[in-house]
Amino acid sequence: MNSISGLPVRLCLAGATIAALALSSGAGLAQTLAAIKARGALACGVSQGVYGFSIETPAGWAGFDVDLCRALAAAVFNDPAKVHYVPLHAADRFAALQSGTIDVLSRNSTWTMSREVELKLIFPAVTYYDGQGFLVRRARNATSALELDNVKVCVQGGTTTELNLDDFSRVNNLKLERISFVTVAEAVKAYDGGRCDVFTADVSQLHAERLALAVPDDHLILPDVISKEPLGPAVRQGDEQWANIVKWTVFALVNAEELGVSSKSIDQEVRSDKPEIKRLTGAEGNFGEQAGLTRDWVVRIIRKVGNYGEIFERNVGLESRLGIPRGLNHLWMDGGIVYAPPIR
Ligand SMILES: N[C@@H](CCC(=O)N[C@@H](CS)C(=O)NCC(=O)O)C(=O)O
């Protein structure tokens, strides 16, 4: 009788101990935003250098992924420059997040199930719908990836790219010899130097790396796209406040584009009488404050960094040196799949 009635008590105690441990280790606490504010800068993990996405220039870090770090810093500090950039290669990126070295990873990372359930991360939103492709020498006269048999393929290790390549070779019965490198610079150099016949990566990265080759025009991206690579920022599990800030910053960028609110129009839009724009700018409602920011958090972001379309076009789109067509990354109302829930 005693042992039966004692059982729930022991279970209760065990539950309390686990909860106390979780709190003392920081999990479950809304502490990331407070730490960022105390530090005076956001620690943002980026790539070591993918042109158009995150690249260090004489004027500082720039690119599509960097602009998300800048948008977060604009939301928190009203200053997009308050970012400490931590360049990471593929194999190190998730450990840097788990250890607390960075607050957010914004580095062409694919949202996958294992990265959430096994690595205990969260991908709050997709910023770029991508897929894996192949770069080859024009002289090869290949028109499809299915013609690539008995070839050596250079790839960066610690990526979904490696895994997809193995699947693709198995499914299509192709002999693709995978040569993996720790850094992208090594992989690209090996391909350019002739050690590999093919370089494989997400298509967006192929556009960027092609520019780094000795003669870019001697190489082409094959039309095949062999995987789904929804790229987006990642955060640690256990801090919903911070995950929400990252998620709603992405959604605010998309909603702003949808509503025609841009860095050029924001000073007029703050006086708009359209209900959706009033909620976006904070003229109505206090959603930003509820998230731990300010009422005008979206105004801060759009004024300093621009909306989703502006970020896409200036860094990687047709206005940029990369010239990537928007394709799937058009807004849903323009034939793409970029869609954000409403701010209300
Ligand atoms: N999206 C894939 C691939 C990401 C990736 O790391 N791609 C390489 C290929 S270009 C890259 O961006 N490297 C840049 C770096 O290591 O700095 C993933 O999340 O695993």
- The angle that helices 240-258 and 64-77 make with each other, rounded to 10 degrees, is 110
244: burial class by Cβ within 10 Å (0-12, 13-18, 19+)? middle
Asked if residue 110 has its Cβ within 6 Å of ligand 1, the reply is yes
CA 296/CA 281 separation, integer angstroms = 6
Atom of ligand 1 nearest to the CA of 155: 9
Other CB atoms within 10 Å distance of the CB of residue 190 = 17
Output the residue whose Cα is nearest ligand 1's atom 14: 47
The predicted pLDDT at position 311 comes to: 98
DSSP state, 147?
G
Write the pLDDT tens digit of every residue in 14-54: 333 333 333 334 444 679 999 999 999 999 999 999 999 99
Quote the ligand 1 centre to 109 CA distance (angstroms). 7
Q: Cα 24 to the chain's mean position, in Å?
A: 30
The predicted pLDDT at position 89 comes to: 93
**Regions of the chain with pLDDT less than 50:** 1-28
Output the residue whose Cα is nearest ligand 1's atom 19: 109
Residue 92 token pair: 């190190």
Quote the ligand 1 centre to 81 CA distance (angstroms). 24
Write the pLDDT tens digit of every residue in 203-244: 999 999 999 999 999 999 999 999 999 999 999 999 999 999
Contacts of 167 (CB under 8 A, 6+ apart): none
The predicted pLDDT at position 1 comes to: 29
Residue indicated by tokens 């093919």: 198
Output the residue whose Cα is nearest ligand 1's atom 11: 184
The predicted pLDDT at position 29 comes to: 64
**Is there a contact between 329 and 279 (Cβ–Cβ < 8 Å)?**
no
The predicted pLDDT at position 136 comes to: 98
Other CB atoms within 10 Å distance of the CB of residue 200 = 31
Asked if residue 161 has its Cβ within 6 Å of ligand 1, the reply is yes
Instruction: Evaluate the CA torsion angle 308, 314, 319, 322 in order and state its sign.
Output: negative
The predicted pLDDT at position 285 comes to: 96
Quote the ligand 1 centre to 145 CA distance (angstroms). 20
